[in-house]
Amino acid sequence: MLIKKKALVIGLSGLLAATFSLSATAKVTLKLSHNNDKTHPVHISMQKFADDVKKQTDGEVIIRIYPNSQLGTQRESMELLQAGSLDMAKSNASELESFEVSYGAFNVPYLFKDTEHYYRVLQDPEVGEKILNSTKGKGFIGLTYYDAGSRSFYAHKPIKTPEDLKGLKVRVQPSPSALEMVRLMGASPTPLAFGELYTALQQGVVDAAENNPTALTLMRHGEVTKFYSEDEHTIIPDVLVIGEKSWAKLTPEQQTIVKKAANDSMMSHKVLWAEMTAQEVQKAKEKMGVEFIKVEKQPFVDAVKPMHDKALQDPAIGAYVKRIDELR
């Protein structure tokens, strides 16, 4: 009888050990939502990230990507992520400012000297990494940044000076900084979901918008606006974020793999973005008839200078802006 009990205990112990082993290595599937098309360079870079994670975890972590706002708008995706109903999302520093003020440091107009300055900032532990970690305890954390290019105005008419913006309704992201910037330049900022912008421009709900040149082709905005004025007022990074509940599902080893794969995809994206942006600009010019207009930037810089001065004094982002200035 004693032998049978011992055998039963050993058998149960083995079964429990096997169960724990299986649960420790169980496949984790994470849903990632974003608002771009599959042909967009950011989608391509996130797919590389997902492929690398799958390979390096031996298929234990699968990231399924849902483009074109299939799971909700960018704002809705962030709210779902905070609630634990979505695992990952691609947002940007402009929209994330509403969730964490630290991201507002990236939204100050004419902050970056050039692309190299921009990447120095993103990789700087005192700015880039610190801001990614600033939302711990708020439902999500940042993993990496993706270059989304410089943003400029596009409209039904050329915009060569801030005077040309007066009286125009300009679509902006729901960001306090974007609203203030457009007001200082003399226009009426109009927050609107990105997916609704084509129809809004077509029907005159808004007169203009601001984004990088790929919006003209990949979102077909060049069909309804024929003038792209290269004032390059901001360079706002896209941000890949993960919900804290989803992050906690991963083992420490898996977390390390995910973080490294994210950073690797940011750097490969740097090259991809430059190549694809040049191609899309050419398409916009040759196939859509969009006119690209060089502008004198100084009047725009002068119009929004109060934002830079105010940012330096802001207790939440002042240290970040100062450090960004130092990295020029």
Res 3: pLDDT: 45
Angstrom CA distances, 300 to 92, 185, 188, 224, 229, stand at 23, 7, 16, 25, 12
Q: Are 320 and 102 in contact (CB under 8 A)?
A: yes
Q: What is the pLDDT of residues 50-60, one digit of tens each?
A: 999 999 999 99
How big is the chain by its Cα radius of gyration, in Å?
23
Q: Is residue 166 pLDDT above 90, yes or no?
A: yes
Angstrom CA distances, 315 to 141, 198, 289, 310, stand at 22, 38, 46, 10
Q: What is the pLDDT of residues 59-100, one digit of tens each?
A: 999 999 999 999 998 899 999 999 999 999 999 998 899 899
Reported as a pLDDT band with limits 50, 70 and 90, residue 175 is confident
Share of the chain above pLDDT 70, in %: 92
Q: Is residue 172 pLDDT above 70, yes or no?
A: yes
Question: Which of 146, 82, 139 shows the shortest CA–CA distance to 118?
Answer: 146
Q: What is the pLDDT of residues 186-235, one digit of tens each?
A: 999 999 988 899 999 999 999 999 999 999 999 999 999 999 999 999 99
Domains of the chain: 92-328 (3.40.190.170)
Reported as a pLDDT band with limits 50, 70 and 90, residue 25 is low
What does the block give as tokens for 39?
A: 């042909």
Question: Which of 223, 216, 184, 177 shows the shortest CA–CA distance to 202?
Answer: 223
